[in-house]
Structure 1
Amino acid sequence: MTGTPSREPFAITHASVITGDRAGTTLEDTTILVGTAGRIEQVAPSIATPIPDGYRMLDATGKTVMPGLINAHVHLFSDGRPLNPKMATPRGQRITASLMHSPIGRPYLKARAKASVTTLLNSGVTTIRTLGDVGYEAVELRDMIGDGRMAGPRILASGPLLAVPEGHGAPLIALTGETPDDMARNARTNLGHGSNAIKIAATGGVTDAQRLGEAGSPQMDVDRMRAICDVAHESGVIVAAHAQSPEGVRLALLAGVDTIEHGSELDPSMIELFRHNPHALRGWSALVPTLSAGLPMTLIDQRTTGITDIQLENARTVVAGMLAGANDAHDEGLRVGVGTDTAMTFVTQYNTWRELDLLVKRAGFTAAEAIHAATLGNAEILGVSDVTGSIETGKAADLLVLEGDPLLDLRVLKTPALVVANGSPVWRPKTRRFDDIDALLDRAYRE
């Protein structure tokens, strides 16, 4: 759905409403009133809630309503088809970066990002955080959505991530520097362009690794990361860190990052830093495991994924750590968010629901805990819980209407009957799916 979003008042009646809490509280036969400002005006039993004149009534008998999904780790530059390993080399990234910033590439990049945002919305995602953009295309889209020029999810936009020269993400989606002053300056550059999220490449990554052990190898020390965190936190902006090893996670936490992306197995000192982090913006940090990004590389045949031998071996090590970290965080009651790393190989823009399913199958979550992590939990982690994440009077009407109960079967999230973002309905949400990728993932994740 594109164009100016609709804001007529409406009422969803006779619904089973999942509020978004960790317990999976469900309100039966409930009516939700949504006003012209896009806010929830009332949540109450249908029998006691008259529908005001002028409100469109939507009968949700037999259906479930829940908060819109929040994806805390997305990229917008691709659709999830396998990435070309040759483009992941430093030389390949330089060529691609030059093309993306050219008169031909910039319009393509904007169109690709816009299509990704629309797909996310139609799949039921009503808030996203981008974590590594080619430029500031996500900032532009965020402002267009905020101004009502197009329909879309709420966006926290990072702009390019911050890395060392030849580090993870560089140069395609990164600003690079050597010293703490360089890092502070790059953080200010992103904030000056309107970014309201910041990302650090604390360690090497799998997708652009050129040697064994590079993924997870620390690339930035505490002083440089602390310089970034200080600048971002002065503006009230949270900082994410790509970190895929125990040492990388520990250094990032010591620097004061607010979210660890991907993660690793956790020791007691790291667990304590997640709970009480004196340099983080809110005094604590959270983990966003992104299991969707790692598992396909280790579970699907290498001839199909197209990854190199080096990428595969790095992936095996990193994925084992990610799974251990997600389980450790759940067992210890740490804050765990939901992000998929969209645009990576086999991480489509429409499969956010799979991350919830993986948290249940691989990390010990209940369905209610996974739904909470993707709604109110993510909202608290991203600092937007005063606006979204749960179905409460006064909050934005970010809603999904589902044909079944996701507490019983998370697969009903695949095809929402209705998506509402900030009070604007997407009446017939549709996404272009890749049947071959979905079939591969279904087989890979089958218990």
Structure 2
Amino acid sequence: MMAIGRKEREPFVIQHADVATGDADGKLLHDMTIVVGSDGRIEQVLPSNQAFVPAGYHCIDATGKVVAPGLINAHTHLFAEGKMMKAKTVSPRQEQAAVALLHSPIGKAYMAAKVKANAKTLLNSGVTTIRSLGDVGYEMVALRDKVDADEVLGPRILASGPMLCIPGGHGDPYIALSSTTPEEARLNARINLEHGVNVIKVAATGGVTDAKEVGVAGSPQMDEASMVAVCEEAHEAGVIVAAHAESAAGVKAALRAGVDTIEHGSPMDEEIVDLFLHNPRSLRGFSGLNSTLSPCLPLVKIDQEVLGISDIMRSNSEQVTDGMVQGARDGHQYGISEGVGTDTAMGLVTQYNTWRELDLLVRYADFTPAEAFHAATQVNAKNLGIDDATGSIAIGKDADLLVLDGDPVADLRFLEHPQLVVARGWPVWRPKVKHMEEVDSLVETF
């Protein structure tokens, strides 16, 4: 990732571009000029024949191009790249040794370099804001602080630190702190907050990737009282809470506890819909949804032998995937605030393919391309509580921008190769990412 030091941003103007607003109706504004000041904020958004270009501003002619808001990925992990997942058995002793290595000085240095490289990939792919939801330690907090201080160029980061779970539950022991009582769960939330996290994640149910038995995925794990304690602690600090939940029972318990976003989801009944729309315990009175279709669909759509996954993982995937897809459809139908997260680092979920989640929402969850792009920009910004700073192209907001070859509402693939990425006013000229051809060819099959 490029070091910035503390030099001042160069003010610039993007002229004669069409602007994809990110509105749900897919509005496109023609021949617009966007003026960005040295503080990285947008100063003007006007038709080109009305805009005033201040002296000394660098001018970029974007005739024939489309400027769009930067993408927001609300569910990332940066500890891996998203390669193929192969079945392997790890003994308790091997697991303990691996955890000890990750938390050693060498492991911490390795992980710091890893998340920095993966954040660069996300940024170069057009993602200008990320939320991490399950980290090895507090390496994402450290990277966020460097980005915020303009020491390195990167996406805006909401960092969770380790997720919170029950002993042996989802995420334990690699990326989680475990607890058995509400008091212990509250303490773990405080530990994360003291380390500077600005989001917290709980595991309301088991998951697919680390389940050791069939039926674990979606089974209730952290109890409602413990999740209430976590939400109370986080909300007092103004921090939102996300919940991994892959069954109706887990979703209901998490929403009743007051979580602000549900990750993955399940089919919805009237109680679930009502809690999403009007959640009195959540920080802002409603809860959002990130269906994360990117990690679950490959596990059931691609031949098991090709993937190399275990029978346990395949079975657990089959048990929860249909429910997650139905939950995405239900959320769309009932007007729930449904955003976009991909669960990067999971098998076949690369750091550079955020645009594919939008495509999956269109193919499997009844979204229009305009609605999917809206979800990845304005809706995500609202759900994460950062819509005052990003998510749309408006005066006073940070210049989180993409310059594309065409309108993403007309073809979402225009998001795959941005010609220019701007993060908080810092430009990434000629952004490039290294693709994993084996992974890309597999996800193209469905």
TM-score by length of 1: 0.97
Match of 1:48, SS? coil
Is the CA contact 2:20–2:408 (under 8 Å) kept in the aligned structure 1? Answer: no
Report Cα offsets for 1:305-324 as digits up to 9, x if no partner. Answer: 22110110110121101100
Q: C-alpha displacement at 1:93, in angstroms?
A: 4.2
Moved more, 79-88 or 267-276: 79-88
Deviation at 1:303, TM superposition (A): 2.1
Q: 1:210 aligns with which of 209, 212, 215?
A: 212
Q: Is the 8 A contact 1:19 1:392 kept in 2?
A: no
Report the residue type matching 2:356 in the other structure.
R
Q: 1:387 and 1:91, CA in 2 relative to 1: closer, same or farther beyond 3 A? A: farther
**Alpha-carbon distance in structure 2 between the residues aligned to 1:96 and 1:34:** 47
* Structure 1 segment 165-314 matched on structure 2, within 5 A: 165-314=167-316
Indicate if the aligned counterparts of 2:268 and 2:330 stay in contact, CA closer than 8 A: yes
Amino acid at match of 1:191: L
Query: What code does the residue aligned with 1:330 have?
Result: H
Q: Which residue of 1 aligns with 2:142?
A: 140
Report the Cα distance in structure 2 between the residues aligned to 1:125 and 1:362, rounded to whole angstroms.
23
1:22-41 equivalences under 5 Å are 22-41=24-43
Match of 1:14 in 2: 16
Alignment-derived partner of residue 3 in structure 2? 3
SS in 2 for 1:28: strand
Distance in 2, matches of 1:75 and 1:374, equals 17
Paired residue for 1:406? 408
| CA distance 1:85–1:183, shift in 2 (3 Å) | farther
Match 2:118 to one of 116, 119, 136 = 116
Equivalent AA in structure 1 for residue 422 of structure 2: V
Task: Return the alpha-carbon distance in structure 2 between the equivalents of residues 148 and 106 of structure 1.
Answer: 22
Mark the runs of 5 or more structure 2 residues left unpaired by the alignment. Answer: none
Q: Which residue of 2 aligns with 1:94?
A: 96
Tell me by how many angstroms 1:394 deviates.
0.3
Residues 96-137 of structure 1: per-residue CA shift (max 9 Å, x gap): 221211232221111111111000000000000000000000
1:419-434 pair list within 5 angstroms? 419-434=421-436
CA contact (8 A) 1:175 1:186 kept: yes
Query: How has the CA–CA distance of structure 1 residues 192 and 88 changed in structure 2, closer, same or farther, with 3 Å as cutoff?
Result: farther
* TM-aligned CA distance change 1:139 to 1:261, over 3 Å: same
**146-155 or 6-15, which moves further after superposition?**
6-15
Is the 8 Å Cα contact of residues 338 and 375 (structure 2) preserved in structure 1?
yes
- Preserved CA contact (<8 Å) 1:90 1:170: no
Shift of 1:298: 0.9
Q: Give the partner amino acid of 2:9.
A: R
Q: CA 1:397 to 1:90, structure 2 compared with 1: closer, same or farther past 3 Å?
A: farther
Q: Which amino acid aligns with 1:247?
A: A
Task: Kindly report which structure 2 residues correspond to 1:365-444, keeping only aligned pairs within 5 A, or say none.
Answer: 365-443=367-445
Match of 2:357 among 355, 378, 381: 355
Q: List runs of 5+ in structure 1 lacking aligned partners.
A: none
Distance 2:411 2:123 in 1: 21
SS at match of 1:374: helix
* C-alpha distance in 2 between matches for 1:238 and 1:88: 34
1:235 and 1:104 map into 2 onto residues whose CA distance is: 32
After TM superposition, give the deviation of residue 289 of structure 1 in Å: 0.3
Give, in whole Å, the separation in 1 of the partners of 2:152 and 2:48: 32
In the alignment, the residues of structure 1 paired with residue 347 and residue 92 of structure 2 have an alpha-carbon distance, to the nearest angstrom, of 18
Return the offset for 1:94: 3.1
Residue 185 (structure 1) shift: 0.3
Deviation at 1:62, TM superposition (A): 0.8
Which string of whole-angstrom CA distances, capped at 9 and with x for unpartnered residues, describes residues 73-100 of structure 1?
0001000012454377766543322121
Are the aligned partners of 1:32 and 1:42 in contact in 2 as well (CA < 8 Å)?
Answer: yes
Q: C-alpha separation between the residues in 2 aligned to 1:176 and 1:110?
A: 23
Q: 2 CA distance for matches of 1:47 and 1:87? A: 65
Q: Secondary structure at the match of 1:111?
A: helix
Identity %: 59
The residue type equivalent to 1:4 in the other structure is: I
CA contact (8 A) 1:76 1:342 kept: yes
Q: Partner of 2:422: helix, strand, or coil?
A: strand
